[in-house]
Structure 1
Amino acid sequence: MPEFKATVSGAEQRRLQEFLEALRKPCTAQMNPKSMYHKPEFESDFRSRLLIHHFFIKSPLFQDGFDSALESACSQSGCKVKRAPVGQRFWDLEIDGRHISLKSTKARNLREETLHVSKLTEAAWIQDCRTAKKRRDETFRLFREYCSEVDAIMQLRYFAANRKYELVEIPVVLFKQILDVQAKHFAADGPTINIPIGKDPPDFTLKLDRSDAKITIANINKKRCFVHGTWKV
């Protein structure tokens, strides 16, 4: 690490002291030893982003901040990272060749054992579908395309009660089960379908939101996902 020597103004000195104060705030981190990100460089860089954000912004790290924090931490840990090209609708970062969609949530009703992706993607065609077959065909078309382009969803969850962040990976291969659903389950204008059919609890719930023209994935069983790490700030 190079040493820097520079003359700073009083305001700059105060700001540097604030940064140091932020970085030295207590933070309990726990990384999954099986995680591809189980590296000191990743954990320390990601932790520093969380601490600085909380110190200066006074609110949880959310979508835009999460994108840049994960990109920086991956780069610092030696991963090859590229941002998605402009116009790419399904994924945000390419990390070591894997296409990753980034999501974050700070909802008050977060549950420990299930995940919720409020807006997987827009789907304007939902409002034009009038038959179960048409809904199923369009859903199949969308998820074939989605599963061919995206490898995983990375979601950062913030639990306000205990000030805990959780970084969870949702494998997109789970969604291929949608292609096994029969047309009769798409009969409602805005169907809600537990998948796989008949499993209790389901792996996830597919929702075609007609009012907002979007796809929601709810009740994702965390046992089917992978927790990379947690940070308590």
Structure 2
Amino acid sequence: MTEKQKLINEITRELPALDTGYLRLLTDFAEILQREVDVTADGHGPFTEEFARHFAGVLLVHHALSEEPFTKDKFEHAMVRVLNESDLDAHLSPRGNPGHDLTVGAEKWSLKTQADQALKLDALHISKFMEMGKGEWTNETSLTGLRQRMFDHVANYDRIFSLRHKIVGENRYYELVEIPKALLLEAENGELEMKMDSKQNPKPGYCRVYDRDRSQKFQLYFDGGTERKLQIKHLKKALCHVRASWTFKKD
């Protein structure tokens, strides 16, 4: 007996225990899961077509109940579920953990989401890469210490992923992008600038990273004011890896 037939038999056994409302809901989900989704997967590690198909199902069910894109919390739970279905040992970190969001095998993963209306398909923006908290934040010399805190934070995980959502025409488009950790560590040689003319307190600052041709790879933006957070801005997607993507009709 195939795995599919086993699941059909299991569902059939459970159906009589469901009331009419739940059966209608189950029927709706069955119809939703038959919708056409264009998927891609680069085949690197766990990111196979099977992974992409399973994740497509989670996206379809979510958008049957909500117009809103995946939040970070939903992304985390969906990744754990789909990776476990792919026979990988994946589990969430304790809530409030300042480092990685989940563990996959021996690897520590950090997950981000992006769904702002200004999203550009050729560049990534992480509006809250980490909280900076208190500490020295007065001049360009201070930025060296703030940048080091980013390096210390990145040391807590092995891989970084961003799930990005954008409406393209009549379709929803999601993509799973891996940001190379080594790329962010190039900030060690970045150019620092504190915006001393800003009215924010503390002042915001930048660390700009360029290639040999002076083309900008990305920026670290040390966002001052009350939040004191680090943003990653204008990160070229061409320097990252699109592990999977999903395109389907928007309701």
Normalising by structure 2, report the TM-score.
0.83
Q: Does residue 219 of the first structure (1) align with residue 234 of the second (2)?
A: yes
Q: Does residue 21 of the first structure (1) align with residue 28 of the second (2)?
A: no
Task: Tell me: CA distance 1:88–1:9, structure 2 relative to 1, closer, same or farther (3 Å).
Answer: closer
For 1:125 and 1:180, the matched residues in 2 are separated by 24
Query: Offset of 1:203 from its aligned partner?
Result: 1.7
Does the 8 Å contact 1:165/1:232 carry over to 2? yes
Q: Does residue 135 of the first structure (1) align with residue 143 of the second (2)?
A: yes
Runs (4+) off by over 3 Å = 184-188, 196-200
Normalising by structure 1, report the TM-score.
0.89
Q: Does residue 205 of the first structure (1) align with residue 212 of the second (2)?
A: no
- Percent identity reads 23
Match of 2:205 among 182, 188, 191: 191
User: Which shifted more, 67-76 or 55-64?
Assistant: 55-64
Match of 1:166 among 163, 166, 175: 175
Does the 8 Å contact 2:187/2:208 carry over to 1? no
Count the aligned residue pairs. Answer: 229
Question: RMSD in angstroms over aligned alpha carbons?
Answer: 2.0
Look up the equivalent residue of 1:132 and give its one-letter code: E
1:39 aligned partner: 48
Does the 8 Å contact 1:136/1:186 carry over to 2? no
Query: Offset of 1:86 from its aligned partner?
Result: 4.2
In the TM superposition, what are the counterparts of 1:30-69 in structure 2 within 5 Å? Answer: 30-33=40-43, 35-69=44-78
2:153 aligned partner: 146
Give the gaps of 5 or more residues in structure 2: 197-202
Task: Tell me: CA distance 1:147–1:63, structure 2 relative to 1, closer, same or farther (3 Å).
Answer: closer
Q: Does residue 90 of the first structure (1) align with residue 99 of the second (2)?
A: yes
Determine helix, strand or coil for the equivalent of 1:149: coil
For 1:174 and 1:157, the matched residues in 2 are separated by 19
For 1:113 and 1:40, the matched residues in 2 are separated by 23
- Cα deviations by residue, 1:188-226 (Å, 9 ceiling, x for unpaired): 421123213875432211100002200000111112111
Task: Tell me: CA distance 1:146–1:73, structure 2 relative to 1, closer, same or farther (3 Å).
Answer: same
Look up the equivalent residue of 2:233 and give its one-letter code: A
